[in-house]
Amino acid sequence: MNFHYENGRRYSAYKQGQYWGPNDEQQADQLDICHHICNLTMDGRLHLAPIDSQGPQKLHVLDVGTGTGLWAVDFADQNPSADVVGTDLSPVQLPHAVPPNLRFELDDCTQPWTFAPETFDFIHIRSLYGSVADWPAFYGECLKALKPNGYIEQVEMSVVPKSDDGSVAPDSVFARWGDVSLAAGDAFGKSLRTVDESKQGLVDAGFVDVVERRFKWPIGGWAKDERLREIGEFNRLNWEQGIEGWCMFLLTNYLGWTKDEVVEYLGNMRTMLRDRKVHAYQDLSVVYGRKPLDASSS
């Protein structure tokens, strides 16, 4: 495997510079934590789309941007009769065995897809924010690759921490994080606003019966509700593990920051992450839609 090293982090050399995220162990740990939080949020379900995984027909499933592959592994384990494909711009490096009904492919989902039309019954997407410059073209590829009546589901997180009680002040480092992150994504040419854009994107692409569920992810263990408090504790770890990888490439390459400036900024962020007086959370969007029977796959 070929890698590119920059500011102490490791990145995939394949399509170098097209994706902002590192593919080293530190970021892999963050992705695994995020997967666990998604499972907590959805009560152990791997999807909300009403796909019939217990029906007589063999399911063909695509996981786009599979990351460390945990979602694909879990789905393949729970549905041994399904055929599951996980694709990513970065090589998937799993420390454990892969189910026999799962395979991984190195692929750039922003380029024209090579899958035959009407191949998949279900396409799963998670955390593609900041990864796609042309969302209409991407959704068009998804629509083409799905069978009629097949489902797509997209899970996206907001990069803007907020609060309902004013504890995320407009001049706080949390508020600055949101502003800086959105500006960096815009400079990169790949929006980080996907959490608020994916529902309309699916509708505009021609999907029907589009449904969105919104969830709050507390950042830290401040919530009174036991379940939300557990999610918040894991999400604090998620942020502590992930923030350097989320911003180092974008800030140094597209906003002109030095590595030292980023390190100082991250130190201030970590201090705020541990402040239980700050009741910050981020939004999570789960959107799914169906390909209509009369949709063209050409």
Whether 297 is covered by a domain: the verdict is no
pLDDT tens digits for the chain (298 residues)? 688 999 999 998 888 888 999 999 999 999 999 999 999 999 999 999 999 877 778 999 999 999 999 999 999 999 999 999 999 988 776 656 799 999 999 999 999 999 999 999 999 999 999 999 999 999 999 999 999 999 999 999 999 999 999 999 999 999 999 999 999 999 999 999 999 999 999 999 999 999 999 999 999 999 999 999 999 999 999 999 999 999 999 999 999 999 999 999 999 999 999 999 999 999 999 999 999 998 766 5
Whether 175 is covered by a domain: the verdict is yes
Whether 120 is covered by a domain: the verdict is yes
Provide the residue range defining the domain that includes 286. Answer: 3-290
DSSP string, 200-253: HHHHHHT-EEEEEEEEEEESSS--SSHHHHHHHHHHHHHHHHHHHHHHHHHHHH
Q: Is 199 left (phi over 0), alpha (psi -120 to 50) or beta?
A: alpha
| Structure-derived torsion over alpha carbons of residues 105, 110, 116, 122, reported in degrees to the nearest 10 | 80
| Res 93: pLDDT | 64
Whether 68 is covered by a domain: the verdict is yes
Whether 295 is covered by a domain: the verdict is no
C-alpha 250/C-alpha 180 separation (Å) is 10
Q: Is 282 helix (H, G, I), strand (E, B) or coil?
A: strand
| Res 12: pLDDT | 86
| Res 191: pLDDT | 96
- Whole-prediction pTM value? 0.95
**What's the distance, CA 266 to chain centroid?**
21
Q: Using an 8 Å Cβ cutoff, are 88 and 97 in contact? A: no
Find the helix or strand (DSSP H, E) in which 281 lies.
Answer: strand 281-290
CATH of residue 190's domain is 3.40.50.150
Whether 41 is covered by a domain: the verdict is yes
Whether 259 is covered by a domain: the verdict is yes
Count the residues in the chain: 298
- The one-character DSSP state at 104 is E
C-alpha 239/C-alpha 141 separation (Å) is 32
Two tokens, residue 244? 């350097």
Whether 296 is covered by a domain: the verdict is no
Query: Which residues are 156's β-sheet partners?
Result: 285
| Res 3: pLDDT | 87
**What's the distance, CA 139 to chain centroid?**
16
Look at the chain and report how many structural domains it folds into.
Answer: 1
Q: Are strands 120-126 and 60-64 parallel, antiparallel or unpaired?
A: parallel
Choose among 24, 71, 51, 23: nearest CA to 86: 71
